[in-house]
Structure 1
Amino acid sequence: MLTEAETIVAHANRIADLAGSSAMAYFRHLLEIDLKDDESPVTQADRGVELCVRAYLEQHFPEDGILGEEFGQSDLTCDHVWSIDPIDGTRSFLSGHPMFGFLLARLHMGVPTIGVIGMPALNETMIGVRGGSAMLNGDRVCVSSQTSLDQAILYINEAEKMFALQPQTFSGLLSAGQTRRFGYDCYPHALVAMGHVDAVVDWDLQPYDYLPLVPVIEAAGGIITDWNGQPLALSSGTSGVVTAATADLHAELLHLVGS
């Protein structure tokens, strides 16, 4: 007999498989590209994947609320709410780059308890359970033991936006860490959970971008908060995120982004 958490994880795996299959049916094919009000691109793939996921959730979890990037929200006052980012990294997707993801979270009273980071083109699915384990394709993963920023592998996500809107912070990050890489979207955070990267500083995120990351990072032993060190939840209303493998590393980065 499966526990409730195991049942939800089984559903999450099925959803990730469905979303991945749906996304790959569009990948590297001719796409119709529209621009949203903020000039970010959206394609029929984004809409198609989210509709596929919503149909599954409405069938199996009809009493739960839904927050989706493309089709908005329904009853966020429910005890349980699902957060969906159908194509995390639409610019990567539409340019044929395989580093796009699928993000899913289930929240209880606004707190993410189960998170999914799916990488369809890489055939990787990470699932984290609050108070449990983080698994990559069924194998447990954990963060690194790095405690010093001077020795860390650091990813800076959304660098051009940070340069434009947070130039002082961006300048400080350029001299932080032993190895620095510019990145985008969810995969650098997943690499922290796997132990390959030590930290990520991210900017300009929406709830559906960061909520699924929280259970994965925390279940892998890491720390993820906003730039003020506050926990991430449905009500956070933040756009800056710091992910780190250890408390010492996280504290160093908070000091840097808060300066």
Structure 2
Amino acid sequence: MRMDVLTLFPEMFDGVFHSSILGKAQEKGIVSLNAVNFRDYSGNKHGTVDDTPYGGGGGMVLKPEPIFRAVEDLLSKSNERTGEQFETTADDSISAVATTESQRPPRVILMCPQGEPFSQRKAEELAGEDHLIFVCGHYEGYDERIREHLVTDELSIGDYVLTGGELPAMVMIDSITRLLPGVLGNEMSAVTDSFSTGLLEYPHYTRPAEFRGWKVPDILLSGHHANVADWRRKEALRRTWQRRPDLLETLDLSPQEIKWLEEFRNETK
């Protein structure tokens, strides 16, 4: 998979892209991560990428030209690598025509507080793509034509405003990369993470079996895999009920899990 980030501060990604899981994933050739300074596509000697908004108001707005040029350049380079042909549609929006069914056009993702909330489900969806382009804004906002004619997705990591889209892009890239086959040492790690199963993750313990008088639950020392699996599912359900009961509203619970919930409620009476 390839992930490109359009940003005015590519240096922010140096440590993130070459450390820990992301760095190892690149070393293994599983993912290619690149930060591109879209100021290089400004088309003017001053490197100007923003301007005052029409109609007045405070702040500066990112101009469409640098963003469009940067994305188009990435699409052109992708064309050279994969043989895809990219064209402009009748309404001047960018689309891609794949030469084979297995080739898909990149998803162009706008980092935006107005966007769809990013979730584990969205990360799993994006992990199935071949090429992602993240657009990180600054200043007051984006020229609306970027939203209407360039991007495929608008995503947000929460209901708050940050200085720019770099930190949200890092969060999403990390979340997506760890889902790619071969990235994690234990493939089950991503499957059992919080939110992947619809529940928060169950409690974890390791050696020593007793620390300062606090003991590991006996069932985890029993070696009985079926009982351990039941305990983990029950404790994941308990933790979700205690901390994020809203997640249970969309889950299809088994009869046993419904009994466990009733047990939890009775324990608090």
TM range (shorter): 0.3 to 0.5
| TM-score w.r.t. length of structure 2 | 0.32
Bigger proportion of residues as strand? 1
The structure richer in helix per residue is 2
